[in-house]
Chains A and B, each alone.
Chain A
Amino acid sequence: MASIPATLHLPRLRSLPPLIRIRFLSVAASPNSQVDSFPSRRIHLKNLVIRAAGGSLDSGDGKNAKDPAHNELEGGGVDPQRMGLSLHATISTIRAPLLRMKGSSFDMKYAVWLCIAFAASVVVIFVRQIVVRSHRRERQGSVADLIRRGQLRSDRRGISKPLRYDDPFNNPLVKAGEGDSTIEMFGKVYRMAPVTLTREQQSSHQKRRSQIYQWKSPTVFLKEGDDIPPDVDPDRVRWIPANHPFATTVSDIDENLARENVYQKHGAPFRIRVEHEAMQRKIDALQSRQKSSKTPHDPNRSTRDFERQINSARPQEQQETDLPTNQHLEHPTSGRDSDEITTTDELKKL
């Protein structure tokens, strides 16, 4: 901490440079105060020291000896006494208000508040940067960000709240004036114009169109090349190209059946029911065929016969090696596997 000189030092006239510098050398608290406790403690400044420093030969650092202006002054032949007088007059003019400030507490308060404001602004900038960075980190790749960019669907995520009917148009962004012909929507004011279309104008347009467009709505779609049915007006036929990409005139069911299908309200659909019935008929036919055969169907006996044939077809060595496997032949699927093996062996023999 710098000490506070109690006097205003004036430069020596002999070494006065052409530039006048008024420098606030030090602004500090009283010797008892501590700067470390700056924010919390009240600081009293007793003296504000203003020193007009020129070449500052008192400092003794020798920097001013290299000052080109100072060198010019020394070799230039300017009267230093005259300049010193003018400087003295200048300082005497500014001395009064500065010394008037001396001893008042306003300057100290101003400096303190300036420091507080500066520190507060630094803190605010720092906090804002932290908040922005953390917020940016949250946004990137988040669900809300993806939905905002259209890469996710909000309705599948369950984060959107559907609008309820209760107040669908209570939109603060829309203000409709009752008296004037303007409306404010989303911050913009739009001018309104009345619609003046009359019934007469509408009917005249209808009359114009009826004269121009004389069209009969087609009721029958036919493939190009087909013959027109005798009871159909040729003007009501729409010809569909055979290679139409989206339409065809071919249907595997008749008109009445299609209509019944559309009007059906309960039960199995027609095609499902038909397929089910066809399968049921097939099963019944199979069962009846089995019943009509003389030997009743005995799955155990047929399996045993099948095993006997397999065992007789295999060589003796292989039968011995496959003995544990054969124990599983009671299962019908295992029988299928052995059958496959047998057939492959037979094929190899052939």
Chain B
Amino acid sequence: MASSLHPYSFPASFHPLPHLSTRSLNPRHSNRTRFTPIPIRSMLQWNRKPELSGETPRVVVITSGKGGVGKTTTTANIGVSLARYGFSVVAVDADAGLRNLDLLLGLESRVVYTAAEALNGDCRLDQALVRDRRWSSLELLCISRPRSKLSLAFGPKALTWVVDALRSRSSGPPDFVLIDCPAGIDAGFVTAIAPAHEAVLVTTPDITALRDADRVTGLLECDGIRDIKMIVNRVRTDLIRGEDMMSVLDVQEMLGLALLGVIPDDAEVIKSTNRGYPLVLNQPPSMAGLAFEQAAWRLAEQDSMKAVMVEEEPKKRGFFSFFGG
């Protein structure tokens, strides 16, 4: 029996993205294209430790609605970045049937117990936490085994208990609890968002992801989560310049959310995923890794982007550029 307020049911006349048109695909047609010189603050931060703001533990759910936009990649990289900054992080993979966060962190062979076993009494919760050997302040908690069913008898309360238990653990509460939300708005989504106080919405600049992102944002706001920031993933400036992709500012105009980060499309993401080595640990850092680092920085300081990269400019070449100078 479905209720009349089911999230799948929308008025037929409703267009969740009223501003979407071919004209808006081009950032140059936007009214905001009068670029004025601005001081670049919070674009890149370095040489100081980010200041943790807000009440700890910060319980952040990373969600999108649409699958395959980079939720798990974002969770892994932001988690590792926060651990590099010196914060204690517990990354919870709330995707019951299709968990992948352990693979991205390279911890898949060390997951013995999960939160489901902790609920059943097969282990304690601290035994289900997998500590990363690279950064000991990062811990992973999987909610269930890959081929087992998660018992939803207690509803979303189970994950709330887990977060409360983490808050009251003897070694002190973690600074961040990052919850990797499964795709869709099914029972997994409801379970994942239950203990969260803030949300990071991951989307790509295409209309399918934007429609789902808008819908998920609405559900999060209905659930009482007001602090929602957005990460626009897989941005390609060459496509934006050729008017084949929406610009980040257009995405922001459609969703009306503060920007936590803009991640450029980078082949290094696939490489790091297959290696089980998060992108932010690459040496030398890649563009996407750097963008994840900055997003984690802003998340820690509860900051948002003040300026975004819109397109590539031809580099000014010097007098001796012919000789490689």
Contacts and interface: CB of A to CB of B under 8 A. Distances in A.
Contacts of B284: 171, 173
A220 B164 CA distance: 19
A234 interface: yes
Interface string B255-276: 1111100000000000100111
Interface stretch (A62-70, A111-119, A257-265, A278-286): A257-265
A190 B40 contact: no
A204 interface: yes
Given A169-B47, A178-B40, A163 B275 contact: no
A105 interface: no
Interface residues on chain A, size class: 35 or more
A238 B153 CA distance: 11
B7 A217 contact: no
Contacts of A246: 96-98, 144, 149-150, 188
A213 B38 contact: no
B165 interface: yes
B218 A209 contact: yes
A270 B40 CA distance: 55
A213 B219 contact: yes
A248 interface: yes
A136 interface: no
Contacts of A185: 287, 290, 309
Contact of B281 (A162, A221, A248, A252): A162
Nearest to B159: A262
A221 B33 contact: no
Contact of B222 (A174, A191, A210, A257): A210
Interface in B1-46: 1-3, 5, 7, 10-11, 14, 16, 27, 32-33, 35-40, 43-46
Contact of B152 (A190, A192, A247, A272): A247
Interface string A188-229: 111111111100011011100110111111111100000010
Contact of A209 (B168, B221, B311): B221
Given A154-B275, A248-B152, A192 B38 contact: yes
Given A197-B252, A204-B256, A239-B2, A271 B155 contact: no
A176 B40 contact: yes
Given A193-B249, A265-B170, A162 B134 contact: yes
Nearest to B215: A213
Contact of B257 (A154, A202, A212): A202
A253 interface: yes
Contact of A168 (B36, B84, B162, B310): B84
Interface in B44-88: 44-47, 49, 84-86
Interface string B189-207: 0100110000000000000
B106 A248 contact: no
A181 interface: yes
B126 A265 contact: yes
A235 B47 contact: no
Given A181-B35, A209-B217, A215-B218, A163 B281 contact: yes
Interface string A227-258: 01000001101111000111111111101011
B86 A165 contact: yes
A298 B112 CA distance: 45
B45 A221 contact: no
B46 A169 contact: yes
Most interface-central of B3, B118, B306 (chain A CB within 10 A): B3
A181 B40 contact: yes
A182 interface: yes
A258 B308 contact: no
Nearest to B190: A218
Given A168-B46, A209-B214, A177 B96 contact: no
Contacts of A160: 277, 281, 283
Interface string B222-248: 110010000000000100000000000
Given A194-B32, A216-B3, 4 more contacts: A173-B285, A183-B43, A197-B258, A217-B194
Interface of B: 1-3, 5, 7, 10-11, 14, 16, 27, 32-33, 35-40, 43-47, 49, 84-86, 96-98, 106, 115, 118-127, 134-135, 144, 149-158, 161-162, 164-165, 168-170, 187-188, 190, 193-194, 214-215, 217-219, 221-223, 226, 237, 249, 252-253, 255-259, 271, 274-277, 280-281, 283-285, 287, 290, 293, 304-316
23 contacts: A153-B277, A165-B49, A165-B86, A171-B285, A189-B315, A191-B312, A192-B43, A193-B249, A193-B307, A202-B258, A205-B256, A214-B222, A217-B219, A221-B153, A235-B5, A239-B2, A245-B97, A246-B144, A248-B149, A258-B121, A261-B121, A263-B161, A263-B165
The 10 A-B pairs of least Cβ separation, nearest first, read A205-B256, A246-B97, A270-B121, A213-B218, A169-B46, A251-B153, A209-B218, A271-B121, A190-B309, A221-B152
